[in-house]
Each structure stands twice: as structure tokens, then as C-alpha cells.
Structure 1
Amino acid sequence: MSDGGWSWDPTLYAGSAPFYPVGRVPYPAALAERLAEALHLDGHGRLLDVGCGPGSLTLLLAPLFAEVVGVDADADMLAEGARQARRAAVGHVTWRHLRAEELPADLAPPTVVTFAQSFHWMDRPTVAAAVRTMLAPGGALVHVGATTHEGMPTDDVLPHPRPPREAIGALVRHHLGDARRAGRSVVPASGTPGDEDDVYRAAGFRGPRHLELPARTVERTAEEIRASVYSLSRAAPHLFGADLEEFDAGLRALLDGASPDGRFSERLCGITLSLWR
């Protein structure tokens, strides 16, 4: 996110990798189905998932391609992705420890490139330009607009209590301060940038074509909510230092008080797939 006043450092998600697959709600199968239909994906071609983390999207889309490469700057995330791939018996994914800014590196031209909850952490103009030059003829870039760690405010009656997200946020601030932490630094007061359409167009992409997936209600356990907190850069375990045990005890107490049986419901916002050519 160097175009927004913050510079990446390797501690951004330090310690978060094992919490990510537990704390983030999986992308729905409908996402792969919609992309397969829109891009005529049939098990051929090559996918490049940039900022892949532990493979949440990579492994969902892997059956649609002959070759798959997941790229991430966090080695622990890639190791977790490899574990998840073995668990799912997916053997045709290559995990590469690279910053997106190092693209195209030595990678073969992809037919589809995906960014899922990752582009805002990058030097976006540099990365978009690199991806534009390496994309195979007729290929597509897919920007996945989604939030998978927590639900949105809603007046709907849900089957179980909503997680106490405001109280959790207050607990994080009590330990880490009001500024949103991000690795060794903080996110600017303006937040992470959201003008990715302008960045993609400036790099030469045409579009976007939008595919919309509806909001959904999910049931979550207390342990999943706890993991969702540690899956965030602003609450990565290393940030708490010697206070981690105290913070974790407070977090567990909040969750126990909000739902004695340990079950929660959240309404996740819809997902927007933006297709660029």
C-alpha cells in the first residue's frame, strides 16, 4: 500500500496463518461456479492467485485450471496453504514466496489472475502494470470484493446472537491503542485505499464486468470468532506481546458472555467479482 502512505513489512500477518482458515468464512461454491461460467473455465489454463494467503480462494478455484500458482509475501501463510492443499488432496498448486511487487518473476503467463482481499496491501500501480504485461492473450483479472472475517450490521432476526464485535474492537484498542496497527506501523487515518478501478484502468485494463453473489447468513462457533480476530492484521498475535494471554482471556470472556452455548450468527455481505480484460 505504498501508494497510500504505508509501506509493507514482513510482520503484517505474523502469527495469523493458523487462525486464517478457522476464522475466515470460506468463499461459497457459487463463486467458482459463476467464474467458470463467465470465463469458460473447463480445467485448462493457468491461475495466478496474488496475495493468496493460506489458499482460501486458490483451492476453491483449483479444479477449474490445469496449473495453479499461489503467490504470497508471508511464508507461514504459504505453509498453511500447502497443508490445506494436502488435506483437500489438491496436488497441482505451486506455492511461491514472493511479494506481488516482484512479479512477473519467472512465472509463466496466467490465463486468470485473482486478487482476493489482498490488492489494497500492495503497491497497486506497480502490481497492476506487471500483471497486465504477464497476462496471457484473452486472459482476465478478477478482483474479489468480499469480507469473510465478520458480518455486517443487520436488523434481521438471526438464529443465534451476533458476535460482540464492538466490544471486541474496544478490547483490541485497550491493548493496542486507537491507531489501527499494521505490522510495525499503522494504517493511515484515511484507511486502506479503495479506488482500485482507477488503478486497473491506468494499467490498461478494460472493464469491469461485475458478477454479484448475494449476502448470506452463517453460523459460527466461539472458536471461529476468536480465530477471526487473530486473522486480522490489526490484531495479529505478535502485536500483543506479553499481553497476549491477558487479551485472549478477555476475548474468551466476551464470547462466553455473549453466547453461553458458543454459537453465533452473522450476516455476511454479498460478494462482487469484478472482471477486467
Structure 2
Amino acid sequence: MVTTYDPTLFQGAASYYVRYRSRYPQSLFDRIADHFQLSPQERLLDLGCGAGLVAIPFSDRFREVVAIDPDADMLKEAQAEAERTGVNNIHWIHDRAESLSEELGQFRLATFGRSFHWMQRELVAEKLRSLLTDDGGIVILKTGDDPWNSQLPWKKTAISVVKRWLGDQRRTGQAGQGTWKSLDVPHDVVLETAGFTQHTTIEVTFEKTWTVDSYLGYLYSTAFALPSFFGENREEFEADLKKSLFEIESSGNFTEVLSAAALIAQKSK
């Protein structure tokens, strides 16, 4: 899907990402740790770490975490969040996952939180073969909060407002001029081809409550509705979104049950 890095992919989203993206439940990290029977001496490699939504809450299971992301603003937010929460065992690196080298050493796990699909997946998976221990694995995490395929009336309304201002095609990258393309090959097939053949999926559910303002913040954290996309129409878009959502629910509060899942792929023996 992605062959070259686009620095505009999440341009202007970092502060919204750390505040408004859905967090992975701690129970999901607990189940991943149990699956691998992690010891406190392990090392974690978090790729496309963004604002630290995996690296920070999972860091207490590891001696050291190496977190890599090409977006300097995202790393700045992640470092501030780590400092705020007293996490001090993460080494932050401003780089692309495609630049992985054996100089980083060995890791038990490599994690991706909503990031693998933006990368040259085949290249990254192949490089991880030599960086992971023999009993190591890859974990791809996601939450089911993507509104584009939701049947919830208020989410369908929110997307209809986005389309009203940005057009029917889902935008992404290239300063808002690119369009979203679905993956031709699923993640599990890419991982299997790279030699990660033992696959397991762990899923948990959790309740999430949004306000009109927090959902606006969520939209601004996404690659399809960055604040810059709206230009001089931003205030009008915000007014339209708020009016439309309050018409759906006068309280301005929306509660949903979301899933959080981890695709686990271990190295073939």
C-alpha cells in the first residue's frame, strides 16, 4: 500500500491523537503477556509507535522498550506522555520501520498499533526475522472504532458531514490529495510469507463514551480528516458536525461497545 513515506500523513494530528484516540484496554496487554509468558527481562520493539499508545501502557512488562516513528510531532507527544506517567524505560527513535537494522539488538516482541498498514509490510516483516528471538513474535493491534464501516446512526452522520466538506472519497496523505486504498494482501498472509506462521487472535471488548467535542477531536486525529484538510472552512465544518450530532442525540453523549484485537504471529520453528 505504501512505498515511500509521506510526511503529511498525520500532519497536525499528534496533539489530537494522544488525547482522543481510543486506548487499548489493559486486559489486552495482559493477555498478550500471558500468551508469550513474558519475563521482566524481555525487550519490546514498537514500530510506528505514534503517540505511544502501545509502548507506554505495555512498558511495565519489559526491561526496555524501543519505540520508532517517522513523525517528530508524534514522538514529542509520546515522550511528554511517558514523562507525565513516570515511564522511563522507553528509548524513542525518530525513523521509519523500513530502516530497521540488527544494531538495535534482539527483541522478544515487535508490536504495531494501527501502523503496519502504512508500511512496506513485506520488507519490515522480513527484517524482523533476524531481530526477534527464536520464541519471539509480532503483535498487530487494532480497535474497532473506524466510523467508515459503522452502522451506528451517529457515526454514519459524522461521516456524512465529513463527506459533505471533503468529498465522497476517503482522503489520506499527500496533503489531503491522496485517497485510501484497501490492502491487496491481508496482514496474516504477509506475515506467513515472511516466516511467521503460528497465528493467534486475541480480542476483548470495552465500552467507550464520546462527547461531540471529543469525537471532533478523534476525527482530527485521523488520516482522513486532518484539520488542515478543511482549510478556511474549518469553523463551518465544526459547526455542521456539532449541529448534526446534537440532532441525533440532544445530550451530545454517545456510548458504544468497541473491540480491541491483537493478531499474534510467531516465528516458524
Fold equivalence (TM over 0.5): yes
How far has the Cα of 1:20 moved from its partner? Answer: 1.2
Is the CA contact (8 Å cut-off) linking 1:26 and 1:148 kept in structure 2?
no
Deviations 1:124-181 (A, max 9, x none): 1111111112223322111224334559757xxxxxxx67222221221222222221
**Which residue in the other structure is 1:250 paired with?**
240
**Which residue in the other structure is 1:138 paired with?**
135
**1:114 aligned to 2:107?**
no
**Which residue in the other structure is 1:15 paired with?**
12
In structure 2, give the amino acid aligned to 1:2. Answer: V
Structure 2 distance, partners of 1:134, 1:83, is 28
Alignment of 1:66-77 (within 5 A): 66-77=63-74
Alignment of 1:171-190 (within 5 A): 171-184=161-174, 185-188=177-180, 190=181
TM-score (norm 2): 0.89
1:49 to 36, 43, 46: 46
Structure 2 distance, partners of 1:243, 1:37, is 49
How far has the Cα of 1:112 moved from its partner? Answer: 0.8
Q: 1:16 to 1:193 in 2, by over 3 A?
A: farther
Is the CA contact (8 Å cut-off) linking 2:31 and 2:202 kept in structure 1?
yes
Is the CA contact (8 Å cut-off) linking 1:150 and 1:266 kept in structure 2?
no
2:186 to 162, 187, 195: 195
Structure 2 distance, partners of 1:245, 1:21, is 22
Structure 2 distance, partners of 1:207, 1:23, is 34
Is the CA contact (8 Å cut-off) linking 1:151 and 1:267 kept in structure 2?
no
In structure 2, give the amino acid aligned to 1:243. Answer: N
Give the match's secondary structure for 1:115. strand
TM-score (norm 1): 0.87
**Which residue in the other structure is 2:257 paired with?**
267
**Which residue in the other structure is 2:203 paired with?**
212
**Which residue in the other structure is 1:89 paired with?**
86
Give the match's secondary structure for 1:181. coil
Is the CA contact (8 Å cut-off) linking 2:100 and 2:124 kept in structure 1?
yes
Give the match's secondary structure for 1:182. coil
Q: Name stretches of at least 5 consecutive residues in structure 1 with no aligned partner.
A: 155-161
| Bigger mean CA offset, 134-143 vs 25-34 | 134-143
Structure 2 distance, partners of 1:226, 1:46, is 36
Structure 1 distance, partners of 2:22, 2:266, is 25
Structure 2 distance, partners of 1:110, 1:228, is 32
| Bigger mean CA offset, 175-184 vs 58-67 | 175-184
Structure 1 distance, partners of 2:79, 2:146, is 21
**1:238 aligned to 2:235?**
no
Structure 1 distance, partners of 2:265, 2:41, is 19
Structure 2 distance, partners of 1:152, 1:270, is 16
Give the match's secondary structure for 1:32. helix
Is the CA contact (8 Å cut-off) linking 1:141 and 1:275 kept in structure 2?
yes
In structure 1, give the amino acid aligned to 2:254. Answer: F
2:97 to 90, 96, 100: 100
Structure 2 distance, partners of 1:253, 1:83, is 34
Q: Identity of aligned pairs, percent?
A: 34
Deviations 1:170-208 (A, max 9, x none): 2212222222211114235x5244511111111122211
Is the CA contact (8 Å cut-off) linking 1:120 and 1:194 kept in structure 2?
no
**Which residue in the other structure is 2:2 paired with?**
2
How far has the Cα of 1:69 moved from its partner? Answer: 1.3
**Which residue in the other structure is 1:225 paired with?**
215
- Equivalent pairs counted in the alignment come to 265
Deviations 1:196-236 (A, max 9, x none): 111111112221123232x3332222222111111110001
2:121 to 121, 124, 134: 124
Is the CA contact (8 Å cut-off) linking 1:150 and 1:228 kept in structure 2?
no
